[in-house]
Structure formats: C-alpha cells, structure tokens
Chains A and B, each alone.
Chain A
Amino acid sequence: MRDPLSRRTFFKSSALALAALAVTGSGVGASPLVRGPDNEPDEQVKKVLREKFGARQIREGHVTLDVPDVAPDSREVPLLIECDLPMTASNYVKGIHIVVDHNPDIYLAGFDFTPAIGAATLDTRIKMRRSSQVRVIAETSGGELWTTSRFVFTSLNGCV
C-alpha cells in the first residue's frame, strides 16, 4: 500500500495551508492594529513648545492638517494646512508653526501672516527623519493657540 501522504497530496495540502495563512495574515494586517504612539508630546517637544509659546495653553481645533498616513517619499511629505479662524484686520491668524517630533529640527518652520493674506491656508512639502507625529499650531493675533496633529508613517530617513 502507498504512503497516505503522497507527494501530490502533500503539495495540495501545503498549498491550501499557505493560502489559509495568507488570508488570515492579510486580515490581521488590514485591521487597525498599529495606530502609532499616542498624541502626547515627549519632553524634548514640550521644551520646544515652551520656548516658542511659553506657558500658554494649546488647544485642539480650528486647524485641519491634510497629510498622507504613509508617506511615499519621506524627503517630500506634502502638507496642506487650513484654518477656519477669522482673518479680519483686528482678529487674524498671526502665524502657523510646524513641529515634527522626531526630526533633527523639531521646530520645522514658522509662517507669519498679516490680514492681507485673506485666508490662513498653507501648502508645502517637508522632510521627515522617521515615523513621527506632525503637529501644526496656529497662533491668532489675540494670542490663542490652536493645534492639530497627525501621525505619519515613513520608511526611510528623509533628512539628507
């Protein structure tokens, strides 16, 4: 009598097992298992924020940041920033600040505006050293600070 596990049945069953593994594997990968670390800034970032804004309270809201969740090229990560705050002569967005937690320069850029701008929108491209929280802080002429942040995954060091 032949061996119950012939060559043909062995290949058939192993192929089936592999297919099953692939299916379950992709199922795990698609679930939002990894959402990055939480939003809380670490000590270095807190220090930068203190130096820039003092002890003023930074609140969430009024700013939207459009950025890819996974950056295809960490040397050119596109950012689109919009604020729904008023832009009148007496009450306007004085500045937009970009802070990237794990970059060599944590405070990446500052953009100072005057009311002549009409709307506080911004579109630019930044470099990222590694996967990190990208924070945008809008400063109004009254001194209020509004922020939003997104975690961006990158695969390469873009700070070259």
Chain B
Amino acid sequence: MRDDIGQGKIILPVKISRDAVINVRALLSHPMLTGMSRDQAGIPIPAYFVNDVVVTYGGEHVAHFVWTSGISRDPFVGFSLRASKEAPLTITWKDNKGGVYTQSADIKFGAA
C-alpha cells in the first residue's frame, strides 16, 4: 500500500481580490479502489475510496460532495468560491474505511 494516502493539497490563485469568484483546486492522495480488481494471487482487493467531502470557509459550510469509487485515483476537484472574507478554507475528505483527512489554506486579499 502507498504511504502517502491522505496527503491533501489546496491550490488557490496567487492574487485574490475581495468578492472575486476564484477557482479553488483540491487534490488528495488516495488510491480510490473500486473493489472490482484482484491482486496477483486472485484475491479481490476491497473497495477503498473517498465518499464524502466537506468544504468550509471561515467555519461556514460551503459545499458538500458525495462521491463513489467512480472518481479517479488521487481525486481532484476544482470549484468556484466567492472570496467574501479573509478566512481559512478547509476541506475534509472522508473515506469508507473511516479515514478523515483535512487540509486548509488561508484566503488573503492582494499583497498590495
């Protein structure tokens, strides 16, 4: 098994201005096994995938994704967000074996 499971990453635009709609990209290291494949000995590999993703922005619930194993390995999701305040953006991924992975990034307005 890979040893980097659960490493999350949030990519934000370099410059963010107030009330702009920005593009947030989030990536998680996860094998997303469907449970349909077998290993070399012919034993089925059990399903292991992220099925629940929650996005909060400054403590406020913003989005909720329900996934099946049909999402690709190392699940990637890009979505929009209105940058209304300077606050941390937190994404929590949960998998079907009870794993919970959290990653957050701070939304800050332009450096100038």
Contacts and interface: CB of A to CB of B under 8 A. Distances in A.
B81 A124 contact: no
B80 interface: yes
Interface in A40-75: 75
A119 B82 CA distance: 8
A119 B80 contact: yes
Contacts, number: 100
A110 interface: yes
Interface string B53-82: 000010011111111111111011111111
Q: Describe B's contact surface by its main secondary structure.
A: strand
A153 interface: no
Place the interface of chain B in its size category. 20 to 34
13 contacts: A75-B72, A100-B70, A105-B69, A111-B64, A112-B64, A118-B82, A121-B23, A122-B79, A124-B77, A125-B75, A126-B72, A127-B70, A127-B71
Interface of B: 21, 23, 25, 34, 36-37, 57, 60-73, 75-82, 84
